[in-house]
Structure 1
Amino acid sequence: MATVGEDAKKIMLRSCDAKEFEVDEAVAKQLEMFAKMIKDGCPEGGIPLLNITNKALDVVLEYCKKHTDFATTEEEIAAWDADYINVGQDILYDVIMVT
């Protein structure tokens, strides 16, 4: 089982507007795009995301963290997911582009 928390391996993601996000590897691997990059070996300074803004990346990582939380029930996830998509259209478009 993947480790999440203080002892977990960390991955650095860098948005196109230069904001850095240090996340647990298990969280980043929730998205296939990041999982492939991690499998191929992350660049020394982290993964640069040239077309992803920090606002979109923040929203996507929130989703990934929630879906990595082993204490959350399926019902809680379903309810959370329903609320999750209620963001502005501009952010929702960016999120779709990330995934």
Structure 2
Amino acid sequence: MSERPTVHRNQIAEARNVLGEVIARARFGGEPTVLINRGKEAAVIVSYEDYATLRELRDYLEELEAGERSSDKTNARVLREALDIAKRRALDSS
């Protein structure tokens, strides 16, 4: 199992000053940066690969949920639950 990447946190104004570094960390190091605005998480800069993976997972989930077979519905439920758990874990750790 691979290690979890380092997650950086920056105020938006700070990140703007080092945007090249923030992008390089995401792109080459797989290290996301959480952007903070007025003390709250506003957005995340991630690699395009991570973004594309998330989009594919969402699209796949929508296909399963729209499917006719009961196995599609079961797989959609399992995937939705896993994504919900991951979301809660991510929000709890921030």
TM > 0.5 fold call: no
Please say which structure displays the higher CA radius of gyration: 2
Question: Which structure dedicates a bigger proportion of its chain to helix?
Answer: 2
Q: TM-score, normalised by structure 1?
A: 0.27
Q: TM-score, normalised by structure 2?
A: 0.28
